[in-house]
Amino acid sequence: MDDKAMKYPPMRLNRYLAACGLGSRRTCEQLIREEHVSINEHIVTDLSTVVSPHTDTVSIDGEPIRPPLRHVYIMMNKPKGYITTMKDPENRRSVASLLPNSPRRIFPVGRLDRDSEGLLLFTSDGMTAQGLSHPRFGVERFYRVDVSPPFPRNRLRSLERGIRIHGEKFAVHKASLVGNRAVGRQINMVLRTGRKREIRRLLEGHGYDVRRILRYGFGPLRLGSLSPGETRHLTDSEVSTLLSREPVP
């Protein structure tokens, strides 16, 4: 299916070129340096240049470029023990080894740390990846977290208010216990950001050990019955719903 338009935020020119299939960001930076790239008919050589995909015309040697109309969208149930990277110089187990062969270069949308599990999205669509990851869009991530000792229901609001660690605030958008109990070992959490080890740092800051983190939802997508290590391509309906998201107010 053809990709629907999404109101992408402005992005660095090298990222836009990579999304158009011009190669790695380093390759795209070389194209910029060598004066092959123009925006609205003006040659650009500044690597810090930002492009607005829906209002600017970007060209290579005078030929306008756009991202391809068909992209790859793959969902994975990431197992514990795999790092979220496509290449690892230390030869650790990575999610790249679990992916099917793709006609396009694909990359993860956001990350899950090595000890976390669950829904991980991959795509060849750099602009959509940027939009889904950008805080302005407030895309919700849904997690089920096992903790020790049991967490009391009357402390859930403290997770939503958040805490500051070394001057940085960590908080969840929503938190609830699994099951109708006064205390529980499983917490459902909804986040609208994707900072590194945010859930672990938040709960450890409250004095709790994190035993397991499972992401079961990302925006409108749900993990469903996908087994650990398995992948599948998104349906046309899922892609359409994913691309039609609007930014939060």
Instruction: Enumerate the active-site residues.
Output: 113
The one-character DSSP state at 135 is G
Pairing of strands 107-109, 117-123: antiparallel
For tokens 């991202």, name the residue. 67
Which tokens hold the place of 146?
């096992």
The H or E element containing residue 75 is strand 73-78
d(CA 212, CA 118): 11
Cβ-proximal residues to 22 (8 Å cutoff; 6+ apart), any chain: 28, 31, 60, 65
- Taking every pair of C-alpha atoms in the chain, what is the biggest distance, in angstroms? 65
Structure tokens at 77: 């149930």
Asked if 37 and 31 count as a contact pair (C-beta separation under 8 A), the reply is: yes
- Within the chain, where are the H helices? 13-19, 25-33, 126-133, 156-161, 198-205, 236-243
Residue pointed to by tokens 């990431």: 78
